[in-house]
Amino acid sequence: MKTRTLLDLRKEIIDCKDESRLLELEINLKYFNNLQEAKSEQTEDYSEEEIKDIKNSIALAVSYLRVIEWKKQMLQIEKETNKINAIVDGKNIMLDMFKISIDSFLVNNYSAGDLRIRNNELKKEIAELKKQISNLTK
């Protein structure tokens, strides 16, 4: 990979929304970086201009690796945010349904007095059922 190829990767890295592709690019850039660092240590085999190009390529690859890491974190945060939003939306729907049903029940079916009377009746039924249960357990 030369500097030109690295520059062409920029758009792909920025536009990429696929974690597996980002991982693939990250692995390839790390491999490229290791090769270039090994080349830059062999100064006698390359001209000063070539070594400068190699070091520029290394710097560019390191920058791209940082961007890839950032993109992976952003994708992870986006996934978590989507999960949280789905949970919140589901709970909001249930809360709205509960509010509507309670309002409907309270407003349409009973007045406060009717509710007190019904509550007392239910308490009496519970007390009677408790007596029956205690009699059965004796």
pLDDT in tens, 46-69: 888 888 888 888 999 999 999 999
Q: What is the CA radius of gyration of the chain?
A: 34
Q: What is the pLDDT of residue 75?
A: 93
Q: What is the pLDDT of residue 99?
A: 84
Tokens 């597996």 sit on residue: 20
Closest by CA position to 14, among listed 48, 52, 63 = 63
| Cα–Cα distance for residue pair 107/5, rounded to 1 Å | 70
Mean pLDDT of 18-33: 93
Mean pLDDT of 109-130: 82
Inter-residue contact 36 to 54 (CB < 8 Å): yes
Q: What is the pLDDT of residue 108?
A: 63
Q: How confident is the model at residue 138 (pLDDT cuts 50, 70, 90)?
A: low
pTM of the model: 0.62
pLDDT in tens, 77-116: 999 999 898 888 888 888 888 888 777 766 666 566 777 8
Mean pLDDT of 37-42: 85
Q: Where are the domains of the chain?
A: 3-137
Q: What is the pLDDT of residue 53?
A: 87
